[in-house]
Amino acid sequence: MTCPRCLSHRVGQVAAGQYYCGDCCIEFTPGADGMARMFLVDEEGELTELGTGEEKIT
Ligand SMILES: [Zn+2]
Per residue in 7-43, pLDDT (tens digit) is 999 999 999 999 999 999 899 999 888 899 999 988 8
Q: What is the pLDDT of residue 33?
A: 86
Q: Taking the domains of the chain in order of start, what are their residue ranges? A: 11-52
What is the whole-number distance in angstroms between the Cα of residue 21 and the centre of ligand 1? 5
d(CA 25, CA 36): 15
Instruction: Tell me, in angstroms, the distance from the centre of ligand 1 to residue 43's CA.
Output: 18
pLDDT for 56: 81
Residues near ion ligand 1 (Cβ under 5 Å): 3, 5-6, 8, 21, 23-24
CA triple 49-54-58, angle to 5 deg = 100
The answer to whether residues 39 and 47 touch, using CB atoms and an 8 Å cutoff, is: yes
**Alpha carbons 35 and 42: distance in angstroms, whole number:** 23
pLDDT of residue 38: 94
Find the 44 Cα to ligand 1 centroid distance in Å. Answer: 20
33 CA → ligand 1 middle, Å: 20
pLDDT of 26: 93
pTM of the model: 0.82
- Give yes or no for residue 58 having a pLDDT over 80: no
Amino acid at 22: G
Say what the pLDDT of residue 49 is: 93
Half-sphere exposure of 10 (CA within 13 A, CB side): 7
